[in-house]
Structure 1
Amino acid sequence: MGRLSGKNAIVTGGTAGIGAGIAKMFAREGANVCIVGRNADRGGKVVQDIESCGVKGLFVQADVSATQDVQGFVQQTVEQFGSLHIMVNNAAVIHQSKVVDTKEEDWDRIISNNLTSVFLGSKYAAKAMISQNIQGRIINVSSIHAVLSEPSCSAYTAAKGGIESFTRTLASELAPHRITANILSPGATYTELTTPMYTPAVKEALFKRIPLKAIAQPHDIAYGALFLASDESWYMTGSTMTIDGGYIMDGSLPDAAYWEE
């Protein structure tokens, strides 16, 4: 307990799923947390959970792809809490259509909400940290689909790949200020959005690929964010922490063998 005592954090997309899991874990470890999202009812409930840990909570309804909104919630956090130590760019949306059927407006919306939002959040969080000489932590949430294809989700995968490339450059630029920037890359995770997708057939297929034979819960991903937000990760920057039950690393062939025993 207390690994983030005295720290102030922002978590975008913090009203549900992985974002809410991260926000609650940060609060349990002593951080004041501002969550950013669109749903005020959900936001209010997460703030209640945050404040039940004896720390300050704040919900800001905002568009993470709009410059003015991002500047606004960073400023509100600094005004309410006094400073900003941790920025988690987690907000994301998804759109399904094959490349040949994807409309430009859908592409632009996904890139704006998933990638431009990370640029804006990182930019204004870094400016706030630098102005107060804070050795902060920026955590950008990607996906294993930054490196794996996901048919019918080309804009989403492009955005996630962009997050990883962007974060490495960000890490280089912020290193002189002792601000770290790292990537958190989750695999299959139960959230309000994804749970209906995990039908018995999908889970059977996943478990053939995932060595640990399980789908993560939001708190499993949040533990990774906690490490990246803590002082323990001070010598880690520009890196990707993948939490996927071994999905990416496993090169075996399910139900097959190269050599017969």
Structure 2
Amino acid sequence: MSNLSGKVAIVTGGTAGIGAGIAKLFAQKGANVAIVGRNEERGRKVLQAIEGSGVKGLFVQADVGLKEDTIRYVEAALSAFGGLHIMVNNAAVIHQANVVDTEEEDWERIIRNNLTSCFLGSKYAAKAMIEQKQGGRIINVSSIHATLSEPSCSAYTAAKGGIESFTRTLATELAPHKITANILAPGATYTELTTPMYTPAVKEALFKRIPLQDIAEPEDIAHAALYLASNESRYMTGSMLTIDGGYVMDGSLPGAVYWEE
């Protein structure tokens, strides 16, 4: 069983959805956890759950796409807990518009909040980990839509694809310091944002494509993050865990009958 006792983790976008699930599970496994987000009310609720696990927690209200805010939340975690061992870059926003209708400012906002935030979080977390000389874990959250197209979400898919390429280079650079960098690629997941989208018609269509015919809960993604954060994954870096019920790998044709006589 993975144990994070004595570890310190930062989780961006930790006030809801997948990020909250990761933060709570890390706390249950013994880590002191700093969550970063914009919504103070949600942040306080997650913080209460973290501290209810008997560990220390911290909520930092920040814009993860800004250098100064990134430095501030990393320094806040270091000051509160005395170190940093695990960085989870999970924060993300989405904008829906066809490519021809996407304004440049919307493109730049999505790239900044999804991809640049991942770069900044990785950079300043890595600096702290290198100075500690204890190794570390960086986990960057992508999406199956870095591989699959998602119409009307070109900036989002571009950012997620960038996260994957960036993480592989990051893993190579940080390996001499025993800091691993890996990727999580979730598929359909129930969160506060997405649950209203999963109407009966949408679920019916999804289940024709998802072999397990189910939608993930945040806890399903969190357990994969726990593995990447733990010592069990010490020899894994620059890799990706896809948690999607088999969506991406399935090459079958739903409803088709093969080899009819």
With the shorter chain as reference, the TM-score category is: over 0.9
The Cα offsets for residues 53-73 of structure 1, whole Å up to 9 and x where unpaired, read as: 000000000000000000000
Question: 1:89, 1:140 within 8 Å by CA — same for their partners in 2?
Answer: yes
Residue matched to 1:247: 247
Residue matched to 1:51: 51
| 1:221 aligned partner, one-letter code | I
| 2:117 aligned partner, one-letter code | S
Residue matched to 1:118: 118
Helix, strand or coil at the partner of 1:250: coil
Q: Give the percent of matched residue pairs that are identical in Structure 1 and Structure 2.
A: 78
Matches of 1:227 and 1:151 in 2, distance apart? Answer: 32
Residue matched to 1:133: 133
What residue ranges of structure 1 are gaps of 5+ in the alignment?
none
TM-score by length of 2: 0.99
Residue matched to 2:238: 238
What residue ranges of structure 2 are gaps of 5+ in the alignment?
none
Question: 1:35, 1:58 within 8 Å by CA — same for their partners in 2?
Answer: yes
The Cα offsets for residues 32-88 of structure 1, whole Å up to 9 and x where unpaired, read as: 000000000110010000000000000000000000000000001001000000000
Question: 2:2, 2:230 within 8 Å by CA — same for their partners in 1?
Answer: no
Question: 2:2, 2:226 within 8 Å by CA — same for their partners in 1?
Answer: no
Matches of 2:257 and 2:95 in 1, distance apart? Answer: 37
1:216 matched to 2:216? The reply is: yes
Matches of 1:69 and 1:248 in 2, distance apart? Answer: 35
Helix, strand or coil at the partner of 1:238: coil
Question: 2:2, 2:227 within 8 Å by CA — same for their partners in 1?
Answer: no
Matches of 1:141 and 1:28 in 2, distance apart? Answer: 21
Matches of 1:60 and 1:255 in 2, distance apart? Answer: 49
Q: CA deviation at 1:260?
A: 1.3
Helix, strand or coil at the partner of 1:139: strand
Question: 1:2, 1:30 within 8 Å by CA — same for their partners in 2?
Answer: no
Q: CA deviation at 1:103?
A: 0.2
Matches of 1:251 and 1:152 in 2, distance apart? Answer: 24
Helix, strand or coil at the partner of 2:140: strand
Matches of 1:221 and 1:2 in 2, distance apart? Answer: 15
Residue matched to 2:34: 34
Helix, strand or coil at the partner of 2:129: helix
Matches of 1:107 and 1:193 in 2, distance apart? Answer: 20
Helix, strand or coil at the partner of 2:237: coil
Matches of 1:71 and 1:258 in 2, distance apart? Answer: 56
Question: 2:18, 2:219 within 8 Å by CA — same for their partners in 1?
Answer: yes
Question: 2:6, 2:30 within 8 Å by CA — same for their partners in 1?
Answer: yes
Coordinate RMSD, CA, aligned:
0.8
Matches of 2:69 and 2:37 in 1, distance apart? Answer: 11
Q: CA deviation at 1:258?
A: 3.1
Residue matched to 1:75: 75
1:228 matched to 2:228? The reply is: yes
Residue matched to 2:168: 168
Matches of 2:58 and 2:24 in 1, distance apart? Answer: 12
| 1:237 aligned partner, one-letter code | T
Question: 2:171, 2:181 within 8 Å by CA — same for their partners in 1?
Answer: yes
TM-score by length of 1: 0.99
Helix, strand or coil at the partner of 1:59: strand
Structure 1 81/197 Cα, relative in aligned 2: closer, same or farther at 3 Å?
same
Q: CA deviation at 1:240?
A: 0.5
**Larger displacement relative to structure 2 (94-103 or 249-258):** 249-258
Residue matched to 2:87: 87
Residue matched to 2:23: 23
Q: CA deviation at 1:257?
A: 2.3
Matches of 1:207 and 1:135 in 2, distance apart? Answer: 41
| 1:194 aligned partner, one-letter code | T
Question: 1:37, 1:61 within 8 Å by CA — same for their partners in 2?
Answer: yes
